Structure 1
Amino acid sequence: MDFLPSDEETELAGLVRRICGDLVTKEVLGSHGEGGFDRGVWDALLAAGVLEAGWLAQCAALVEVGRTLAPVPYVTAVASGRGDKVYALALPDAGLPSGFAVHDGLLSGSQTAVMFGAFADAFLIPADGKVFLVEQADVRAQRTVDHADAALVELEDAPGEPLDLDPELLRQRMTVALCAVQLGVLESALHRTAGYARTRKQFDHPIGSFQAVRQRLADAYIDVEAVRLTLWQAAWRLSEELPAAEEVATAKYWAAEAGHRVAHTAVHVHGGVGIDVDHELHRYFAAAKRIEFALGGATAQLRALGGLLAAEPA
């Protein structure tokens, strides 16, 4: 495995960084609990042809999406390979069966907290070992910790078009895409926290000079690097069409566990402003916490990983 980014990865990441840096403003992000999807930012990304690049380049771009908290369905477009509409992927958490079933060619069932479900034009539904494209569903928006883009998706005898997609591969791609976004979220949160520690003073000294603060920041740095390494290992194996179930579970474990620790470190070092929901840091805390549990948190990933290892022949 070559850990050096390719020219394609570097160029696409730079392009997405410029577009999101220019367009993702406080107004776009909205107030606490609002937002979730901005059509203008998404249309600008699509017009730039961002979805035409390869899988690893897309993961590099998703890191930039995480750094800016861009409210766009990039993660679902990359995971599904479909960007002609806003698609929502109604996937279960790791280790859990799909909430949908097929009877006489029609789909029924439900899935809660479907990312981008509140704004989706269509849904990708895993059921009975296949993935179905569903145009119409009963959708009820749900408020999540960071944005109002999720929804409870329910189907009752709904028609669906079977697609040439493997549901497990779709889940793995979505999981890795979320890990990429989490890396950007955590990198930005750590950068902002380190900057705050250099300028915020107590007892006439920057708080970054205190041993306890330095240790928290050092631990957070190591956590971010663990997310980075496990993410790219899983992403590379998927790009090479190699078995990647163990690597994907490992990457999501670190995205969840490190996400929890880094998010809380950022809040604690910021002190009182760290719990202000109107402060920009709160957006990163909320985003990290949401991704921590999306498609299964740390415990779910360890259970999945344990099952995979136990199934290996001695």
Structure 2
Amino acid sequence: MDFTLDDVQREIADLASVVLRKELDPDRAWRALADSGLLALALPAELGGDGLGVAEVTMVLTEVGRAATPVPAFTALALGVLPISRLGSPRQRAELLPGIASGDSLVTAALHEPSAPLVRRPATTAVAVDGSWSLSGTKIGVPYAATAAKILVPASVLGGTGVFLVDPHAVGVTLTATRNSSGSPECTVGLAGVRVEETDLLEDRQSGEAIATLHRFALAGAAALADGTLAGALELTTAHVGSREQFGKPLARFQAVAQEIADVYVASRTLHLAAMSAVWRLSAGLDADADLDIAAYWLAEEAPKALALCHHLHGGLGVDVTYPLHRYYSAVKDLGRFVGGTASRLDKLGELVG
């Protein structure tokens, strides 16, 4: 495996970094990402995109994490653009993707059910009724559900599973705002006999490959975003302990401080390697499930511990809301919850060797 970025990927990462460090206001940063074409990388050429894939999209997510900019890039790209580009019909792609690329609309995904993160056999059901579908069930932790143009909703159908495009304001949909660490919009979505047309069912309804593809893109995006987030927190903390003096010398020169910052470095580099391995295999069309599970476990188990060390090394400054460290910590906590938490990810790893 060669994880060296090619010229296109390096240019994407550099451009995203410049945009995000120039525009500190989230709304302006989001508009700048769209105007620079970074939200259109995976769109097909006929829709004004570059026809690129998951490897290039995750370059953007990593830089969003590194800057800790609170924009809906993960939702738009990992939960919207990538799965629709792969699974959507030509009509669905033409209807939904240009709006996401322009920054004017979002598509999100409802991947979790009560006590069942990233559920593979949903309790939510879809029943064929008079040439359409009727969906019933409950989804939790759905990002940007209230403002999304559509929600990708996995549901069990007769003989398998399907992924449906649901209007969040359709009759039978209830949206209940829920809290998270970062304060970004999130809802519990209730579905009570919601009617969905046949044309709003993504391809491959029976084999379960659609829901598996949706999960793979979600995990790859989460790992890439967390990779950048932890790297950004490490940079921030390294700069702090290198410049803050105590007893007449920089904090970084104290052995205990040096050991703790080294622990954060090890966690950051390991998450980076795990994320890059998973994305590389996914982009190459190889079986990436094991690598994604490893990256998700490291995210859930080790990234929050590393951020706790960053807080410790900052002292009281770390909890000041005018200082950026809290954005990194809250982002990592939300991502760890999104992938299911440590126990859930450990169960997934156990299935690999069971």
1:287 pairs with 321, 331, 351, which one?
331
Question: Relative to structure 2, which stretch is displaced further, 185-194 or 251-260?
Answer: 251-260
State the partner residue of 1:33.
none
Displacement of 1:295 in angstroms is: 2.4
What is the RMSD of the two structures over their aligned residues, measured on CA atoms? 1.8
State the partner residue of 1:87.
107
Deviation sequence 1:82-141 (CA, Å, 0-9, x none): 443301110022466435211232111111211222432210001121111001332222
State the partner residue of 1:66.
65
**Superposed counterparts of 1:1-314, under 5 Å:** 1-25=1-25, 28=26, 38=27, 40-50=28-38, 51-52=40-41, 53-79=52-78, 80=80, 81=82, 82=84, 83=97, 84=99, 85-92=105-112, 93-94=117-118, 97-104=121-128, 105-128=133-156, 129-136=161-168, 137-160=173-196, 161-164=200-203, 166-310=210-354
Find the residue that maps to 1:145 and give its secondary structure: coil
Normalised by the length of structure 2, the TM-score is 0.79
Deviation sequence 1:12-68 (CA, Å, 0-9, x none): 11121122222233xx3xxxxxxxxx3x43333223222223221111111001112
Residue type at the aligned position of 1:7? D
8 Å CA contact 1:133, 1:163 repeated in 2: yes
8 Å CA contact 1:24, 1:68 repeated in 2: no
CA 1:173/1:285 → structure 2, altered by over 3 Å: closer, same or farther?
same
What is the number of residues matched between the two proteins? 298
Deviation sequence 1:244-301 (CA, Å, 0-9, x none): 2111110111112221121101100001122233421111111111112212122211
CA 1:162/1:106 → structure 2, altered by over 3 Å: closer, same or farther?
same
CA distance in 1, matches of 2:121, 2:29: 34
CA distance in 2, matches of 1:10, 1:99: 42
8 Å CA contact 2:120, 2:212 repeated in 1: no
Find the residue that maps to 1:226 and give its secondary structure: helix
Residue type at the aligned position of 2:150? A
8 Å CA contact 1:145, 1:286 repeated in 2: yes
8 Å CA contact 2:222, 2:339 repeated in 1: no
CA distance in 2, matches of 1:277, 1:96: 38
CA distance in 1, matches of 2:123, 2:75: 19
CA distance in 1, matches of 2:55, 2:149: 26
Question: Relative to structure 2, which stretch is displaced further, 88-97 or 210-219?
Answer: 88-97
CA distance in 2, matches of 1:279, 1:96: 39
Stretches of 4+ moved more than 3 A in 1? 94-97
CA distance in 2, matches of 1:266, 1:118: 34
Residue type at the aligned position of 1:119? T
CA distance in 2, matches of 1:119, 1:18: 28
State the partner residue of 1:35.
none
CA distance in 1, matches of 2:123, 2:29: 32
Displacement of 1:226 in angstroms is: 0.6
Normalised by the length of structure 1, the TM-score is 0.89
CA distance in 1, matches of 2:135, 2:321: 40
CA distance in 2, matches of 1:109, 1:234: 31
Question: Relative to structure 2, which stretch is displaced further, 261-270 or 11-20?
Answer: 11-20
CA 1:108/1:23 → structure 2, altered by over 3 Å: closer, same or farther?
same
Question: Relative to structure 2, which stretch is displaced further, 124-133 or 73-82?
Answer: 73-82
Residue type at the aligned position of 1:141? A
Residue type at the aligned position of 1:144? N
Residue type at the aligned position of 1:132? F
State the partner residue of 2:91.
none
Find the residue that maps to 2:180 and give its secondary structure: coil
Where in structure 2 are there 5+ consecutive unaligned residues? 42-51, 85-96, 100-104, 205-209
